[in-house]
Amino acid sequence: MGVTVEIVNKDQLATLRALCLDTFTETYGSQNTKSNLENYLETNFNHSQLKNELDNPQSEYYFVKVDGTIAGYLKVNVGDAQTEIKEQNGLEIERIYVSKAYQGQRLGQALFEKAMERAWFHKTTFLWLGVWDQNTNAIGFYERNGFKTFDTHVFQLGDEMQTDLMMKLELV
């Protein structure tokens, strides 16, 4: 099985958008109301939002592929593209999603290793991320990779208040 992790180019926006919508719905669809979910998808994954992100030199999207078939993606941010914290020596994993059919095959690990590679490239001293406190699957994955919770933040999904764990991996 050939696993590759490849940068997402601007001309792949439509493919990226479809994957973002599918994986987000697959992950959170059953635990959130339809209207909250639709609201989130429309705000965060609309064409112009994704175009701006792909145009931003401080954000990068990567696809993970299995024998050429796209199975998941990663989004990392540095500098001012980070959604919070915004320290120059930090790298944010904003999104890491593997399609359900491909989970448990070390593809999340391949994406995480790309994030580590980008952190070394940018000479950042830590990686960080926010994860919904009910997402025990992802929390287990991040803990397995050495992340530790350092804070909690409340955020709004539609009309519902939810809690995010803020997790950090120090590199030095």
Ligand X SMILES: CC(C)(COP(=O)(O)OP(=O)(O)OC[C@H]1O[C@@H](n2cnc3c(N)ncnc32)[C@H](O)[C@@H]1OP(=O)(O)O)[C@@H](O)C(=O)NCCC(=O)NCCS
Binding site for ligand X (CB under 6 A): 27, 96-98, 103-109, 131, 135, 137-138, 140-141, 144
What are the residue ranges of helices labelled H in 78-144?
107-121, 136-144
Minimum CB distance to ligand X smaller for 35 or for 137: 137
Asked whether 127 and 50 are in contact (CB, 8 A), the reply is no
Whether residue 28 lies in the annotated active site: no
Which CB sits closer to ligand X, 10 or 95? 95
For residues 133, 154, 94, 121, the Cα torsion angle rounded to the nearest 10 degrees is -100
To ligand X, the closest distance from the beta carbon of 7 in angstroms equals 18
- Contact by Cβ (8 Å): 85, 121: no
C-alpha to C-alpha distance for 61 and 49, rounded to whole angstroms: 13
Q: Which is nearer to ligand X, 10 or 148 (CB)?
A: 148
Nearer to ligand X, 2 or 10 (CB): 2
CB atoms within 10 A of CB 12: 16
- Write down the least CB distance from residue 92 to ligand X, Å: 11
- Kind plus residue range of the DSSP H or E element containing 39: helix 34-44
- Catalytic sites, residue numbers: 142
